[in-house]
Structure 1
Amino acid sequence: MWTRPFMLLGTLVITAEAIYSPSFPRPLYQFGKRLAGTSLDTPAMIVGGRDARPAEFPFQAVLTGRTDGKFLAGGSLITEDYVLSCGHDLASQTAKNLTVWLGVHRKPFASSFLWRTSPSALLIHPEFNEAKFLNDIALIRLKDRVPLRRLGGYVNTIFLPPFGFEPRGRALVSGWGDLSENGPNADVLQVVELPLVNLRRCRQLSRFRIEDTNLCAGFAKGGKNACKGDSGGPLFQILNGTAVQIGIVSWGRSCALPNRPGVYTNVVPYLSWIRSIVAADNPSGAWRPASGQPGC
């Protein structure tokens, strides 16, 4: 299984919590919705992918150990207050031992982040089963609300799908995981495009149990997929110009092998659980999609 003081330096503004550089490329999304006049390249290592451009996926989050800086998991910003991730990499952690990084494009994270904060709570799904990777989903409540408007779209949220949504076609997955089986992990955020595999076919190909709450993705010939270190990151689609997260990197049998799809947590069955937690902090609305766009 995959198992400081305020300073001004040129155009780079540095505070104790954020680094903001107006010289970054224009972001592709403004609060989840694609900006007019921007385009997304079709991804060609995650295994077999390509380097993401700076600010291309502004919802990508990184979770590390607070004291040792060890990489723990990927994640995605779904509101100004919450990051969505997997359960299996975080079940042995506590909120006080984590650091959340946003707006990161390359390692080391401490030299390229736009926003850094600590969690106030780590919420693993109550029915998470570590041995079987069941209900492999977690929410991280942030201690400090992310100032999205102040960050100008360079850090941004991703939309969640509507209730009853049935993912199909192709999807993108992003992360800093290994570039090959037992190979080095990525120094720059990677992205790859994958076909979704229906659950019936996925079950035929897997020795392990595939749940109705899973999604599967990968090419029959292999060569491209998520790998160790990508766990917790988003599986998402671009729908009507909007980035919509449909899954969370969960597990796989080795990396990008032929007829071995990667297994992801399907976000849709957990929308009620997510809403119940997020709405408790924000009664006016758990998340606010643009009118007419996919969202809850």
Structure 2
Amino acid sequence: MSSFLDLNVSSPSRSQCVNSPGSGAMRTIIIVVSILIIQNVFTTPILAGNRVFRSHKRIVGGTPAEKDAWPWMLGLVKNEHSGPLCGAALIHPKWAITAAHCMESDTGGVVSTNTFKIVSGIVDFTEDYQDHMHKIKRIISHPHYDSQLIDNDIALLEMTSPLHEIPPLDIYSGEVSNFTGTVLGWGNIVNSDPKDPYNPDYSAEFSDQLLQVSLPIMPQDICIESSSYLITDNMFCAGYSQGGKDACEGDSGGPFVIFDDGHWQLAGIVSWGEGCAWPGYYGFFTRVPNYHDFIAAYIYWGPYDQTDINQNGITDLKDVMFLLDYLTEKKPLIY
């Protein structure tokens, strides 16, 4: 789940400091600023967006996913020659869900719709996937996404054309606890020490093959105790106290799914972590059930005709019954 924060600090040259007025004060300022920067670098939570290079090895502690086992799994690429920078999941024929930080531009806004393409139906990215690429029509990052806290880390991607041939992933609507879920992604497969993120001997390696790993959801108090950062109710953590299994850099935006009521459902989105698969640390995920209203507001109550809720080309009794179920029982608005 990681993208490293690079800080470039330009220090005054020796000629600028020696025999200049206030040089002692300047040296003091430089030392204090350097200490603060080092503290920030070595304690900053790690997002999962950037890639270094790719390999055929496995996600940290995971196994290769079988073809067609997870049909709603999507990758986000910049072009037909790049591997996926983030993951996503199809939750509706025209909509995908991912992490908001995957859609964040260098200036802090939202990237343009032509920055990424959505890739569907691909497990191995060594294959030609040009015919599996789909354009993005609209990006909806959560209006309260906080890039400092990494809170409300969720975004919706509307595609220009629906994918009717792929069954969408259901949204889980219950309490996210006491489950062991599965995380999917093409991310980094090498565990990393959160206290030494810039170890010169460390090299991230990324997988061309879609990988999966099973992780138990931890009690929220353990999640809070394990991290020095503010943990909100919009997050949950998963993993093992001994480490060894985790999502990592490049897995951001990918789904954390649980098997409940006879089928797989989306409970979380890969968000952030401190290191990868390190003992005493856990991966953190966006708690998706908290965002049913956000999802419904854009997917179903948009400014255009939404009477065809499942977007199969017709408005029929299925659409009416589904809407009644939602209004009377507050069922998830995912068809």
* TM-score, normalized by the shorter chain, greater than 0.5: yes
- What TM-score results when the alignment is normalised by the length of structure 1? 0.77
Greater share of residues in helix = 2
Secondary structure in structure 2 of the residue aligned to 1:224: coil
- What TM-score results when the alignment is normalised by the length of structure 2? 0.68
Q: Deviations over 1:271-291 (max 9, x none)?
A: 1000110002534437988x9
Corresponding residue to 1:245 among 262, 266, 275: 266
Q: Distance in 2 between matches of 1:167 and 1:285?
A: 30
1:48 aligns with 2:61: yes
Conserved 8 A contact 1:234-1:249: yes
Secondary structure in structure 1 of the residue aligned to 2:70: coil
Aligned counterpart, 2:151 = 134
Q: Deviations over 1:168-200 (max 9, x none)?
A: 221000000011134311111000101101111
Q: Deviations over 1:105-128 (max 9, x none)?
A: 01136x147732100001111111
Aligned counterpart, 2:169 = 158
Aligned counterpart, 1:124 = 141
Gaps of 5+ in 1: 4-44, 149-154
Whichever residue aligns with residue 285 of structure 1, its letter is I
Aligned counterpart, 1:285 = 309
Aligned counterpart, 1:173 = 183
Secondary structure in structure 1 of the residue aligned to 2:114: helix
Greater share of residues in strand = 1
Deviation at residue 80 of structure 1 after TM alignment: 0.2
Q: Deviations over 1:27-51 (max 9, x none)?
A: xxxxxxxxxxxxxxxxxx3210100
Conserved 8 A contact 1:78-1:159: yes
* RMSD over aligned Cα atoms: 2.3
Aligned counterpart, 2:228 = 207
Q: Distance in 2 between matches of 1:189 and 1:67?
A: 17
Cα 1:76–1:175 shift into 2, 3 Å? same
Deviation at residue 165 of structure 1 after TM alignment: 3.4
Q: Deviations over 1:227-260 (max 9, x none)?
A: 0000000000111321100000000000001110
Q: Distance in 2 between matches of 1:216 and 1:286?
A: 32
Whichever residue aligns with residue 136 of structure 1, its letter is D
Alignment of 1:53-202 (within 5 A): 53-66=66-79, 69=82, 71-92=84-105, 93-108=111-126, 111-112=128-129, 115-148=132-165, 155-162=166-173, 164-181=174-191, 182-202=203-223
Aligned counterpart, 1:27 = none
Secondary structure in structure 2 of the residue aligned to 1:95: coil
Secondary structure in structure 2 of the residue aligned to 1:88: helix
Q: Which runs of 4+ in 1 moved over 4 A?
A: 286-289
**Equivalent residue pairs, number:** 245
Secondary structure in structure 2 of the residue aligned to 1:280: coil
Structure of larger gyration radius:
2
Cα 1:266–1:122 shift into 2, 3 Å? same
Cα 1:91–1:169 shift into 2, 3 Å? same
Q: Deviations over 1:53-89 (max 9, x none)?
A: 0111111111111487463210000000000000112
Whichever residue aligns with residue 188 of structure 1, its letter is Q
Conserved 8 A contact 1:72-1:90: no
Cα 1:98–1:212 shift into 2, 3 Å? same
Q: Distance in 2 between matches of 1:113 and 1:173?
A: 25
Q: Distance in 2 between matches of 1:72 and 1:247?
A: 18
Whichever residue aligns with residue 99 of structure 1, its letter is K
Aligned counterpart, 1:14 = none
Cα 1:113–1:172 shift into 2, 3 Å? farther
Same amino acid, percent of matched pairs? 27
Gaps of 5+ in 2: 4-57, 106-110, 192-202, 312-318
Aligned counterpart, 1:217 = 238
Q: Distance in 2 between matches of 1:113 and 1:197?
A: 39
Secondary structure in structure 1 of the residue aligned to 2:292: helix
Q: Distance in 2 between matches of 1:136 and 1:78?
A: 17
Conserved 8 A contact 1:171-1:235: yes
